[in-house]
Amino acid sequence: MSAQRIALVTGANKGIGYEIAAGLGSLGWRVGVGARDKQRRDTAVEKLRAGGTDAFGVPLDVADETSAVAAAELIADRAGGLDVLVNNAAITGGMPQTPTTVDPATVRAVVETNVIGVIRVTNAMLPLLRGSASARIVNMASSVGSLVLQTTPGIDMGPALVAYSASKTFLNAVTVHYAKELGDTGILVNSGCPGYTATDLNGFQGVRTPRQGAAIAIHLATLPDDGPTGGFFDDGGTVPW
Ligand SMILES: NC(=O)c1ccc[n+]([C@@H]2O[C@H](COP(=O)([O-])OP(=O)(O)OC[C@H]3O[C@@H](n4cnc5c(N)ncnc54)[C@H](OP(=O)(O)O)[C@@H]3O)[C@@H](O)[C@H]2O)c1
């Protein structure tokens, strides 16, 4: 494998994912821009390349098994390996998501993308990641998935989002189990929270910029070999489960 580090960022055509790709690109990394829509993907790749990132497009719908397998083949072909996977793509499922009234189809769709999509893409990429001397897997979670924060009196965690928030709790559990299974491989697996960031996801209501939101993923993607695994972090340090 070449000395240049290679990353795949899912949902990299906009928002935080785009800035993660740009940030890793600025470190000299080669970045696969995972995105499901050809036009949005091509536009992002073009913009990243214009900014100096060695970017290439990776057609990827995380909710589709065939797409994930094809993405791994494309990366093997184009880049010859993979060092870092950032599982960033996610949907909220829309609002409201009150537990007592939510449409089960909404919960199913959100879990399919935000949790099963991560498992699907991770398992498709693992053969490539196992070939890296210092592989990292970063799962973009959220503090709204923290059961400790959700149940601590006095902390405002926003409206009840039984599909989205619970999908991030589920994702954190997935992070822990991957970290345990891969514990002796050197592959570090962590969850990150970007903070409340102004993107399409929340109608641009967030208070952080996408670049600020990307910082924790870049940090976790570039952990040293003796860095943590199986943790949940934001820019301030450890986030409680
Ligand atoms: N923004 C926040 O305040 C905040 C807070 C905590 C955590 N997060 C997490 O941070 C991550 C990035 O969020 P964001 O705010 O940047 O959201 P965003 O702007 O809505 O971007 C989401 C990305 O995911 C992609 N995506 C959704 N479903 C997909 C699928 N099935 N296959 C492939 N790509 C798919 C979207 O692609 P399309 O353009 O094709 O839809 C888009 O590129 C998410 O995991 C989110 O849960 C965000």
Average pLDDT, the chain: 97
| Token pair belonging to 3 | 């000395």
Q: Is 17 close to ligand 1, i.e. is its CB under 6 Å away?
A: yes
What does 159-198 look like in DSSP terms, one character per residue? S-BTTHHHHHHHHHHHHHHHHHHTTTTT-EEEEE---SB-
Threshold 0.95, pTM exceeds: yes
Asked if the model's pLDDT at residue 241 lies above 60, the reply is yes
pLDDT reported for residue 77: 98
Q: Is 113 close to ligand 1, i.e. is its CB under 6 Å away?
A: yes
pLDDT reported for residue 194: 98
Q: Is 142 close to ligand 1, i.e. is its CB under 6 Å away?
A: yes
Please, which pLDDT band fits residue 43 given cuts at 50, 70 and 90? Answer: very high
Please, which pLDDT band fits residue 1 given cuts at 50, 70 and 90? Answer: very low
Q: What is the mean pLDDT of residues 52-57?
A: 98
110-167: pLDDT as tens digits: 999 999 999 999 999 999 999 999 999 999 999 999 999 999 999 999 998 999 999 9
Asked if the model's pLDDT at residue 55 lies above 80, the reply is yes
Please, which pLDDT band fits residue 3 given cuts at 50, 70 and 90? Answer: confident
How many Å apart are CA 154 and CA 143, to the nearest integer? 15
Please, which pLDDT band fits residue 206 given cuts at 50, 70 and 90? Answer: very high
Check residues 174 and 1 and name the one with the higher pLDDT. Answer: 174
Asked if the model's pLDDT at residue 88 lies above 50, the reply is yes
| Token pair belonging to 11 | 């949902």
Q: What is the mean pLDDT of residues 229-241?
A: 98
Give the residue numbers marked as catalytic: 164
**Fold topology of 6-90+112-150+164-238:** Rossmann fold (3.40.50)
| Token pair belonging to 184 | 């002796």
Q: Find, among 165, 169, 144, 197, the residue nearest to 97 by Cα.
A: 165
pLDDT reported for residue 189: 99
- Give 114 Cα–ligand 1 centroid separation in angstroms: 9
Asked if the model's pLDDT at residue 225 lies above 80, the reply is yes
- For residue 88, the ligand 1 atom closest to its alpha carbon is 45
Asked if the model's pLDDT at residue 237 lies above 70, the reply is yes
Going by C-beta distance under 8 Å and a sequence separation of 6 or more, which residues neighbour residue 173? none
Are 157 and 197 spatial neighbours (Cβ–Cβ below 8 Å)? no
